Homo-oligomer: A and B are copies of this chain.
Amino acid sequence: MTHPFDQITTQELQAATKLVKDAHAASDAVHFVQVDRIDPPKSEMVRYLEAEKEGRSLPIIPRRAYVYYYTKQTEFNKAIVNLTYGHVITKQRMPQGVVGPVLGDDMVEIEEYALRDPIVLAEIAKLKLPTGYDVRCEPWIYGTDNPKEDRLLIQVYMYLIGSNKHVESNHYSLPLKFSPVFEMFTNKFVRMDYLPAGLDEKTCETFPWEELKPVEYFPSINGEDTLRELKPLIYQQPEGPSFSINGNAVEWQGWKFMVVPNAREGFAIYDVSFKGRSVLYRLALSEMTVPYGDPRAPYHRKQAFDLGDCGFGANADSLALGCDCLGVVKYLDVVRTDKHGNPVTIAHSVCMHEQDYGLLYKHVNYRTGTSVQARRREFVVQTVATVANYEYVVNIVFDQAGAISVQVRATGILSTMPIEVGKTVDWGTVVAPGVLAAHHQHLLSFRIDPAIDGHKNTVVYDDVVTMELNTALNPFNVGFISKRSYVEKPGFVEQSPFTNRAFKVINELVINPTTLKPVGYKIDMPARQMILGSPDSYNVKRAKFATQQLWAVKYADDELYAAGEFTNQSQKDTGVAAFLENQDSIRNDDVVLFATMALTHVPRAEDFPVMPTDMLPQINILPFGFFEKNPALDIPQSVNSFNKSVYYDDSVQIAVNAASGSCCSKEKL
């Protein structure tokens, strides 16, 4: 039987698009861009989950889907359909100026069209390319600089493929200096933009191309003839994994939750409990924006919103066994629509597996030499999305002591622009001859919907400050205390690293018998630089969420996305900054957090032609006075009869078996 949180099925997606098609005349030329399940209203869902836990009969909650689609090439529409009873609930054309997300397939069509467009071909001709060179192009979300613009536009950046003509040649290493702009769907040529490549904003007409050598990353052409010798390190799980997964429902080491792939967020995690106690209602990446620091037209329009503009799940990679995930691996698939409304399955868009990550705890009693220790086993939920040049690796990692960490790695290929050979600028790094990688920022918003022992929670922050000096209590001036502040009204909390400010979500109605304080979880994030650019810039107006690290608002159905539902060519942020309005107190209420994970990326030469993963500062969601004591005392001690490690052999440097068995109360010799 279907669970209300279960992901949309191919049948459901097909039914949804059929309902919408049937509601339109053929002449409307319905063109789908995104379809997925809508979460049930929380009020109903909470009743459902309670009934589920108590084994009572489950209320029926109709399954619903949203459908984004274009009609007549230029009209953007949204429909909501009831999947359970099979009818359209609402269907409306979005107001002028609201531009929907784009479909990867449509981007590829523009890409192909652009290389046939006569004006583009005429421009290419001016390059007088030596024989053997090919032109490749890459369509980009258009961005925003004009409040009157309401067409769905695409800017196309142009590159060359090296004379090797290899299909995997790194065109990003040979950027050209012109960029045509098209109207989506109609393929109407709008404008040719020329790219500045000097020290200022000036551009020039297209001259014959001066030969440059591409910098390749693909193994067979990257020039690395002798590879480093690396010996296999195999994750063996002879008895199978410690997790059990049934559909979207996961159980591991006391944790219970659901992992649900979707087209926009990649995946969402629902109904998280540890050792039978509720921790989170929902957790997902909510939005991200990537503004670039190059101030010059047309680069000022390079500001991607990879969830709202095109969908993180819809652009997910098919993860491969033993490549993206090791050990015993469970995969889930995401289902997206094509333009006709047919389901497209991206197999293995989410992988789940266990890994070891060092010591979880250890203590040696120096009196007896006895060591007590357990290793840290982690459960990883991973997805990787490819958004044109960049890859984002999103991991939600569970440990055995009640903590969750949200980890993101940025990899892939830097978005490049031309620069005259020998020149350097302060807003970017020269990563190859004639190639500039502009400074940029990755600002990801994670939406955390807590349920700390229930749905009425309070957001607080604790600062550590020195005590009043030269008092009877503090005569040596060494004392420091923790000072608590309550977030009474919706809004943001300022970062304050030098007071060790710690964000927490507590349940004021549940007192921890050990600490005698309310139970809670800590949201641990290092202080970071937030979005740059002036407040009046479109970059900032469109991504208010990125101006602060932590936002707290009151829960509302359908308020999931930090920058708003529709981000493509948006004029302003209709997300968290708008959710705040007309909200009163949020203390001891159904609160939701939006946490901004930020990286200001000043590119390194080492980040090109393919970038070693840049690990963004992680968000740790860990119990703080939630349990009465360390909740991981019930995991097995680590012993070598279990882990079967071996000593390095100095003589022949081949591993030999060590005496197995318990080895953890070894005394100092």
Contacts and interface: CB of A to CB of B under 8 A. Distances in A.
Contacts of A373: 323-324
Given A427-B467, A623-B606, A317 B537 contact: no
A532 interface: yes
Nearest to A112: B367
B469 A411 contact: no
Interface residues of A, number: 207
Contact of A643 (B296, B323, B631, B638): B323
Nearest to A224: B634
A84 B412 CA distance: 54
B481 A439 contact: yes
A627 interface: yes
Contacts of A241: 231, 648, 653, 655
A200 B386 CA distance: 59
A604 to B, nearest CB: 5
A613 B240 CA distance: 27
Contacts of A640: 320-323
Contacts of A386: 363-364, 366
A336 to B, nearest CB: 10
A71 interface: no
Nearest to A327: B645
A311 to B, nearest CB: 14
Contacts of A647: 321, 328-331
| Chain A interface mostly | loop
A556 interface: no
Contact of A605 (B235, B352, B462, B514): B514
A538 B475 CA distance: 12
Interface string A12-30: 0000000000000000000
A362 to B, nearest CB: 5
A55 interface: no
A638 B605 CA distance: 23
A360 to B, nearest CB: 6
Contacts of A1: none
Nearest to A517: B424
Contact of A646 (B328, B467, B481, B498): B328
A320 to B, nearest CB: 4
B372 A300 contact: no
Contacts of A650: 245, 330
A322 B643 contact: yes
Interface stretch (A149-157, A522-530, A583-591): A522-530
A332 to B, nearest CB: 11
B478 A537 contact: yes
Contacts of A163: none
Given A323-B663, A362-B391, A376-B613, A604 B633 contact: no
A316 to B, nearest CB: 8
A486 interface: no
A229 B242 contact: yes
A402 B472 CA distance: 53
Given A224-B634, A642-B232, A318 B667 contact: yes
A117 interface: no
Interface string A559-590: 00000000000000000000000000000000
A33 interface: no
A204 interface: no
A480 B615 CA distance: 22
Interface string A292-310: 1111110010010000000
A612 B401 contact: yes
Contacts of A42: none
Contacts of A347: 668-669
A517 B429 CA distance: 9
Given A322-B639, A526-B527, 9 more contacts: A232-B239, A245-B648, A293-B480, A295-B475, A300-B478, A318-B668, A478-B537, A606-B622, A607-B630
23 contacts: A145-B476, A200-B472, A228-B636, A231-B239, A232-B237, A234-B235, A245-B648, A297-B475, A317-B364, A321-B663, A322-B642, A328-B645, A330-B647, A358-B409, A360-B612, A361-B612, A363-B389, A364-B391, A366-B388, A464-B600, A477-B533, A477-B536, A612-B632
